[in-house]
Amino acid sequence: MDTTKEYILMCSTTRIGTKTRLFAEVRDGDFFYIEDWKKVICWCNCGSFFEEIRGMIQECFIWLPRQDQLQEMVSLPNSEKIGIWFEKQFRFYEWAGKKYNKNELQNNWGTFKSMEQLWLAFVMKERFSKQWSGKEWVNA
């Protein structure tokens, strides 16, 4: 699981990060960066404690999606749509082999330092037509 400053910055500036994450859907095993504490936590269901801190989560927690969660965002893995799931996987690998932008010497595999960063960049491209500039998501 990527918990680097770079990945935290990438997640904090996405539409899928803190402000738009549906916190009713927080699941055991979700990772968050807590800005005030400068710490990464792994969420476990704490019952009523969650209700007490729900507002705080929306304000100062940054969701750090795992690779499987990022893959879910671009995949439809039910049996009726297995062909679409394979197509998305193929498109990811095809995209990953291309240069990230025309000024880059290396492809997407070499541009990002973790699979989470690579998959997040793919999700942002597929769903929002955004590209990582090194500081923020810009129109692709």
Write the pLDDT tens digit of every residue in 104-124: 556 677 788 999 999 999 989
| Whole-angstrom distance, CA of residue 58 vs CA of residue 110 | 33
117 occurs within a structural domain: yes
Question: Does this model's pTM top 0.85?
Answer: no
Q: Which of 81, 62, 79, 75 is nearest to 126 (CA)?
A: 75
Mean local confidence (pLDDT), 81-103:
71
CA distances from 100 to 42, 95, 107, 127, 131 (A): 31, 9, 6, 17, 8
Confidence of residue 19 (pLDDT cuts 50, 70, 90): very low
Q: Is residue 138 part of a domain?
A: no
Which residues, in sequence order, are bridge partners of residue 107?
99
Query: Are 41 and 83 part of one and the same domain?
Result: no
Q: Which of 25, 40, 64 is the last residue of a domain?
A: 64
Residue 9 and residue 55 in one domain? yes
Cα 101 to chain centroid, rounded: 20
The 10 Å Cβ neighbour count of residue 98 is 11
Phi, psi at residue 42, to the nearest 5°? Answer: -105, 125
Q: Which position has the higher pLDDT, 1 or 127?
A: 1
Return the bridge partners of 62, or none.
Answer: 33
Residues 29 and 77 in one domain: no
Same domain, 59 and 111: no
Q: Judge if 88 and 128 occupy the same domain.
A: yes
Domain carrying residue 75: 67-133
